[in-house]
Chains A and B, each alone.
Chain A
Amino acid sequence: EDQVTQSPEALRLQEGESSSLNCSYTVSGLRGLFWYRQDPGKGPEFLFTLYSAGEEKEKERLKATLTKKESFLHITAPKPEDSATYLCAVRAGNTGKLIFGQGTTLQVKP
């Protein structure tokens, strides 16, 4: 069964304290791994798409990496405005169906 597990569920950091979020997945025929950011009461905002093991993408303080079994979202020197829930999802097959993890809620304190 296709499955996505994110850890930790919640993460509290001090401003400037770098860390990583994990997304482990089990899927047959990966056709993309996606990271989204979601603020309370809003829709998910697209961050990155990763497709091949070894691929890396960067945007400001965020860097996403992908292996055959997991993806990491590295946050370097976070700021309070990085506080949000970060969602990981995988696409398997041709149906367009995304399988989401539970998300990691990040709080960055000044």
Chain B
Amino acid sequence: SAVISQKPSRDICQRGTSLTIQCQVDSQVTMMFWYRQQPGQSLTLIATANQGSEATYESGFVIDKFPISRPNLTFSTLTVSNMSPEDSSIYLCSAVIGQSNTGELFFGEGSRLTVL
């Protein structure tokens, strides 16, 4: 199995500030993704992190609000910009280990953000 390390694991942030979450995978990665899990809800895909190029965002998510980097195969960052209380969520990094359409998807333990 793979180990996906995320930091920070949790943070309390002030409205209007930005926070960057880092994700490091210890295995050979095919794909990397960022998900959001709002309180009491399911997971929603924010974007696919593409190595060396702009991320691919899902409907309802934009680069200005959630800039993502992936400078190499095993590392990615997600920034939550200009935060408001509605951004209070768990943000999860995930990675496919193995072939894109058959490999297993692993998750980090998440970064729990609370915006005051």
Q: Do A and B come from one complex?
A: no
Taking beta carbons and an 8 Å cutoff, which residues of B are in contact with A?
none
- Which residues on A are within 8 Å of B, measured CB to CB? none
